[in-house]
Amino acid sequence: MLCLFLLSGCTKEERVFKKTRDVMYTLVTITVVSDSPEDAEEAINAGFDEIKRLEELINYYSPDSELSAVNRSSGKKPVKVSKDTIDMIRRALEISEFTGGAFNPAIGPVIKLWGFSKDESERRVPAKDAVSNALDLVDYKKVKIDMAGSEIFLEEEGMELDLGGIAKGYAADKAVEVLRSKGIKAALVAIAGDIRGYGSRPDGQPWRVGVQNPRPKAEKSGPGEDILTALYLEDEAVSTSGDYERFFTEDGKRYHHIIDPRTGFPAESQTISVSVIAPQGYMTDGISTGVFVLGSSRGIELLGSMGLEGIIVDADRRIYITKGLKGKVEIPQ
Ligand code: AMP
Ligand code: MG
C-alpha cells in the first residue's frame, strides 16, 4: 500500500503539450513531453522566441534584418553580423558545396524577379533577359566570410543572399537546443515541412511524422490530411521540399519556388517532392532543396554518398527511396 501510495504520489505522469503559432510566414508547431504544464509552456514559449529571434536576423523581406544589411552592402563593404547569421551562412555555403551548387543561397536576385515573396499578387514570369542578368550575380563562391571579424562580404554589387532554403531547418535545430536547455527530454519542432525531433513520446514510441502527398486527393486537400507515408524520428530531422508549397500557374504551366541556379527558372528536374532525413535540420532543409534541383537519380546518389536517407517523388508519381529506408517505410504502390 505504502509503495503504491509513494509511486502515485511521487511520479508525475508525462504528457504531450503542443502549441502552434504563425512565425517565419508559416505555421510552427512545438510539441514537448513534460510532467508539468507550467514547465512545458515556459519551454515552448522560449522555443518560439528563439525562432522569432533568428527570423529577425535573416528575414530577406525586412529592411531591418542583418541579412538585408549584408545584401545592401554587396560590392561595397563587409558587414558585421551576429554569430548566428555567420553560422547560418557558413552552413548554407557548406550545403552549396555538397550539392555542387544546386543549392545556392546567392539565388536572391533571381527569386526577387519571380516575386516569390509573402505577397502572392507579386508572383509573375519574369522576362528572359532580366533572368539572365540576375543569374550573373548568383555565385556562392563570391560570398566571403571573415570568422574572426564576424563579417560577411558579397563581392559583386547587386548580389543578394536568400536563406529561405535553409533557415527553417536551422531554426528548428536552434529551438531544439533551447528546449533541451530548459530541461525538456523529448520534443518535436515543426516549421512547416522542416521538422526536428529528439527523445521519444511518453509511450516510448518515436515521433511519427507524416510526409504530405504532393498531389492530395480533392476530398483530402487540407494540410496533413493526405499522407504519402509516415516516418519515425528519433534524434534527427526531416525536411520536405515540394513544388506544391509555393507556386502559381500561368498559361496552364506550374511555376514553383525552387529555382535551378543554372537557368534561373523553376527546376525542371521532374521531381515534385523530396524528403530528406539527417541528424540536423539545417542539413535536411538545405539538402532537400538541393536534391529537388538535382532530380531523382542524382539526388538518390548524393544522399547515398552522404549517408543520408530520403524519399523522392517524380512527376510520374514514381517514388524513389534510399537503401536505408527500404522495409522501414510503407510506400503506396
Ligand atoms: P525549401 O522550401 O526549403 O525547399 O526552400 C525554397 C526556398 O529557398 C525558396 O522560397 C527560395 O527562397 C529559396 N531557394 C529557391 N531555390 C533555391 C536554390 N536553388 N538554392 C537555395 N535556395 C533556393
Ligand atoms: Mg529547404
Cβ atoms of 284 and 91 within 8 Å: the answer is no
- Taking the CA of residue 245 as reference, the ligand 1 atom at the shortest distance is 2
10 Å Cβ neighbour count for 239? 30
Burial of 66 (0-12, 13-18, 19+ CB in 10 A): buried
Q: Whose CA is nearest to atom 3 of ligand 1?
A: 165
Ligand having the closest approach to the CA of 102: 1
pLDDT, averaged across the chain: 92
CA 55 / ligand 1 centre spacing (Å): 16
Is 0.75 topped by the overall pTM? yes
Question: In the predicted model, what is the mean pLDDT of residues 286-301?
Answer: 97
Tell me the ligand closest to 244's alpha carbon: 1
C-alpha cell at 4: 503504491
* Ligand 2 centroid, distance to 332 Cα (angstroms): 24
pLDDT in tens, 131-185: 999 999 999 999 999 999 999 999 999 999 999 999 999 999 999 999 999 999 9
User: How many Å lie between the centroid of ligand 2 and the Cα of residue 95?
Assistant: 10
Q: Which long-range contacts (CB under 8 A, 24 or more apart) does 181-184 make?
A: 182/39, 182/42, 182/43, 182/46, 183/39, 183/43, 184/32, 184/33, 184/34, 184/39, 184/40, 184/43
Q: pLDDT tens digits for 21-31?
A: 999 999 999 99
Q: Closest Cα to atom 1, ligand 1: which residue?
A: 165
Tell how far the Cα of 234 is from the centroid of ligand 1, in angstroms: 26
Say what the pLDDT of residue 4 is: 47
Distances (CA, A) of 75 to 33, 57, 60, 96, 198: 48, 21, 18, 21, 42
Ligand 1 centroid distance, CA of 114 (Å)? 12
| pLDDT number for residue 244 | 83
How confident is the model at residue 221, as a pLDDT? 63
Handedness of CA 128, 130, 131, 133 (dihedral sign): positive
Minimum-distance ligand 1 atom for the alpha carbon of 169: 3
Rounded to the nearest angstrom, the distance between the alpha carbon of 216 and the centre of ligand 1 is: 22
* pLDDT above 80 (res 34): yes
Mean local confidence (pLDDT), 35-48: 97
Residue nearest to atom 5 of ligand 1 (CA): 165
Q: What is the mean pLDDT of residues 66-88?
A: 98
Q: What pLDDT is attached to residue 19?
A: 98
Cα(105) to ligand 1 centroid in Å equals 8
Percent of the chain scored above 90 by pLDDT?
Answer: 80
Average pLDDT (179-195) is: 97
Predicted confidence at residue 328, as pLDDT, reads: 83
Pocket lining for ligand 1, CB < 6 angstroms: 103-105, 107, 111, 116, 162, 164-165, 241, 245-246, 257-259, 261, 285, 288-289, 293
The preferred substitution site among 238, 258, 274 for testing ligand 1, maximizing ligand atoms within 8 Å of CB, is 258
Which is the closest atom of ligand 1 to the Cα of 292? Answer: 4
Q: Residue range 52-63: average pLDDT?
A: 96
Q: Can you give the pLDDT at residue 333?
A: 63
Is residue 258 within 8 A of residue 128, CB to CB? The reply is: no
